[in-house]
Amino acid sequence: MDVVLIALVLQCCVVAVSGYPGGAPSSSCAGMVPGHGAAVQAGASPYTVTMNASTYTAGDVIEVTVSGGTFRGLLVQAQSPGCFGFPLPSFSVMSGDTNVSTLACPGQANSAITHTSRSDKTQATFYWTPGQDLGHINFRATVVQNFNTFWVNITSPELRNSVNPVPGPSCQTNGNQDNAGADLKAHIVFSILSILSALFFVL
156 and 56 in contact (C-beta within 8 Å)?
Answer: no
Give the model's pLDDT for residue 166: 79
DSSP labels, 8-44: HHHHHHT------TT---GGGTTT----SSSPPP-S-
Amino acid at 67: S
Longest dimension (CA), the chain: 52
Taking the C-alpha atoms of residue 112 and residue 56, their distance in angstroms, rounded to an integer, is 18
**100-123: pLDDT as tens digits:** 999 999 879 999 999 999 899 999
pLDDT < 50 stretches in the chain = 3-19, 173-200, 202
pTM of the model: 0.74
Nearest to 49 by CA among 64, 36, 62, 38: 64
